[in-house]
Amino acid sequence: MNGLLTIVIPSFNEEGNIRNTAKVVLELMDSRRIPCELLFVSDGSRDQTFAAIEKAAEEDPRVKGIEFSRNFGKEAAILAGLARGSGDCFVVMDCDLQHPPEKIAEMYQLWQQGYEIVEGLKKSRGKESALHKKFAGFFYGILSSLTGFDLQNTSDFKLIDKKVADVLLQMPERRTFFRALTFWAGFKSCSIYYDVADRMIGESKWSLRKLIKYALSNIISFSSIPLGIVSYLGAGAIIAGFLLGIQTLWRWIAGTAVEGFTTVILLLLLIGGCILLGMGLIGLYLAAIYDEVKRRPRYIVRLSCNLEESKKEKEE
């Protein structure tokens, strides 16, 4: 079956990359005879990204684009692409060609063989700072043990069948984590490995602060185990308090009490810390629930090109 492939490309301030990415990908798809469309999602870019998309769309009608009213994040851009694309299967890839386009053909072949999800796993992480690598390893370690899926080395570079895309679009939650949701969804899946290439133009859009926020928000949206940890902390504090209590009583009986002032201060700090940590964690979940119940749209589309507006406007 030679179904249509929609390639969703989230782009944030990528004016210098659009033209080249479109050219490289389209030439490659032509050489492999894969029917495709390229859907660039400009995530509220502050440069001329959308103008570059429109230009590329004029040159080739297979290039389509939408622009958000502001920066809504890569997750929102991916979902918008899945909602607007008309393909029988979808590939999500970065605009900076760090995801090697040759692998798309490989993914497509696996899809033709009947796989509904083809995960792209990172064989190497490319040029990244040591701190970034450590942080990624730590984050995926935590997330994997909390969710029970092996998410180490996963990325957003993957192919999903239209069925899977529809499942993801039906999910009511506002905070999504595309990388893990495909594992959660199940389906017939397989993986391929790729080397992360160097960024073409510009620099990574992720600061350490943004990464930490992203990691925390994903852990919270995927697991409520941290909430349980709070009760364990409380139990630990009570046990420690009990043991210290016995020691203090013993000293009192033995007549060597008095100098326990340090213990009091230590205990105060310890328990105070546990309480604040617990409250903070509960607060984070509360904030997540608040975000969800507001049911604001995940993104707002300001402009589009080469797309019929009437299609699938159901994504609220």
Q: Which of 5, 8, 14, 164 binds ligand UDP (CB under 6 A)?
A: 14
Tokens of 211: 């990464």
CB 203 → ligand UDP: shortest distance, Å?
7
DSSP string, 10-44: EESS-TTTHHHHHHHHHHHHHHTT--EEEEEEE-S
Q: Which is nearer to Mg ion, 37 or 96 (CB)?
A: 96
Tokens of 30: 């032509």
- Residues whose CB is less than 8 angstroms from the CB of residue 139 and which lie 6 or more positions away in sequence, other chains included: 215, 219
- CA-CA distance, 235 to 127, in Å (whole number)? 44
- Under the binding rule (CB under 6 A), the answer on residue 71 touching ligand UDP is yes
Say how many C-beta atoms besides its own lie within 10 A of residue 259's C-beta: 8
- Under the binding rule (CB under 6 A), the answer on residue 204 touching ligand UDP is yes
Q: Cα-atom radius of gyration of the chain, to the nearest Å?
A: 25
CB 79 within 8 A of CB 168: yes
- Residues whose CB is less than 8 angstroms from the CB of residue 316 and which lie 6 or more positions away in sequence, other chains included: 295, 297, 298
- Under the binding rule (CB under 6 A), the answer on residue 95 touching ligand UDP is yes
- Residues whose CB is less than 8 angstroms from the CB of residue 81 and which lie 6 or more positions away in sequence, other chains included: 6, 8, 9, 10, 39, 41, 90, 92
Q: Which is nearer to Mg ion, 13 or 147 (CB)?
A: 13
- Under the binding rule (CB under 5 A), the answer on residue 17 touching Mg ion is no
CB 214 → ligand UDP: shortest distance, Å?
10
Residue 191 CA, chain-centre distance (Å), reads: 18
- Under the binding rule (CB under 6 A), the answer on residue 205 touching ligand UDP is yes
CB 282 → Mg ion: shortest distance, Å?
35
- From the list 208, 229, 195, the residue with the least C-alpha distance to 138 is 208
Give the helix, strand, coil percentages of the chain, each rounded to 5.
Answer: 50, 15, 35
Residues 104-140 as b or e (16 or more Cβ within 10 Å = b): bebbbebbeeebbbbbbbbeeeeeeeeeeeebbeebb
- Under the binding rule (CB under 6 A), the answer on residue 43 touching ligand UDP is yes
CB 45 → Mg ion: shortest distance, Å?
15
- Under the binding rule (CB under 6 A), the answer on residue 80 touching ligand UDP is no
Report how many residues bind ligand UDP under the rule CB under 6 A: 16
The span of 4-12, 84-92, 212-220, 226-234 binding ligand UDP (CB under 6 A) equals: 4-12
Q: Which of 14, 54, 96, 119 binds Mg ion (CB under 5 A)?
A: 96
- Under the binding rule (CB under 6 A), the answer on residue 67 touching ligand UDP is no
Residue 21 CA, chain-centre distance (Å), reads: 22
The span of 113-121, 158-166, 175-183, 198-206 binding ligand UDP (CB under 6 A) equals: 198-206
CB 191 → ligand UDP: shortest distance, Å?
19
- Under the binding rule (CB under 6 A), the answer on residue 74 touching ligand UDP is yes
Q: Which of 45, 98, 182, 217 binds Mg ion (CB under 5 A)?
A: 98
CB 127 → Mg ion: shortest distance, Å?
10
Q: Which of 38, 56, 77, 160 binds ligand UDP (CB under 6 A)?
A: 77
Footprint of Mg ion (CB under 5 A) = 94, 96, 98
Residues binding ligand UDP (CB under 6 A): 10-12, 14, 43, 71, 73-74, 77, 94-96, 98, 204-206
